[in-house]
Amino acid sequence: MRNIAFLVAPEGVEQIELTEPWKAITQAGGTPQLISTRSGQIQAFNHLDKADEFPVDATVSEVSAADFDGLVLPGGVANPDFLRMQPDAVRFVRDFFDAGKPVAAICHAPWTLIEADVVRGRTLTSWPSLRTDLRNAGATWEDKEVVVCTAGPSTLVTSRKPDDLKAFDQAAVDAFS
């Protein structure tokens, strides 16, 4: 495991869904990099309350999937809702699947996967309110703490919520190793 991209919006990522996988990747010997649509800092949240700010390593327009060994998509409601409306972010996500590189997404992050049209024929989980969206996009949805789908060229790791982070982090590290 080497470089792992964490794609987040300038504002709205759920902080624990960013920091806990980041820590797990670092402890496993990986190098996480924070990628966003704007340079500077991103604003994380603890549910609806502002939390910490984090420095952006690069913008999505400055990097490509070829620069990384895997991708993490943290959740929060606002984060993936913003990203799915950004063509560069959607392309960046799709490129990981086209390249057969592993992707890990938690909570509401599969909204961005839906927009990238990479869930059809795959099995995954998410925050429960995305169940219908995922089914309508051609995915099979399961209510489990972590789902690892190896259908297609990329391994896809998904989890439902912050309570699932321990299982999510371990499955992501395994997929990236």
State how far the Cα of 114 lies from the Cα of 62, in Å rounded to an integer.
Answer: 23
**pLDDT at residue 1 above 70?**
no
Catalytic residue among 13, 18, 107, 137: 107
Number of other residues whose CB lies within 10 A of the CB of residue 18:
26
- Say how far apart CA 73 and CA 55 lie, in whole Å: 17
Looking at residue 152, its pLDDT comes to: 85
Give per-residue pLDDT as tens, 37-75.
Answer: 999 999 999 999 999 999 999 999 999 999 999 999 999
pLDDT digits (tens, 9 = 90+) for 105-148: 999 999 999 999 999 999 999 999 999 999 999 999 999 999 99
Cα–Cα dist 64/69, whole Å: 11
Q: Does residue 107 have an active-site annotation?
A: yes
Q: What local confidence, expressed as pLDDT, does residue 84 receive? A: 97
Q: What percent of the chain has pLDDT over 90?
A: 98
CA-to-CA separations, 46 to 17, 49, 52, 109, in angstroms, rounded: 10, 5, 9, 16
- Helices marked H in 8-74 — which ranges? 15-27
Domains in the chain with CATH codes: 3-176 (3.40.50.880)
The per-residue pLDDT of the chain, averaged, comes to 97
Given 44, 75, 80, 108, which residue is catalytic?
108
- Look up 149 and say whether it is catalytic: no
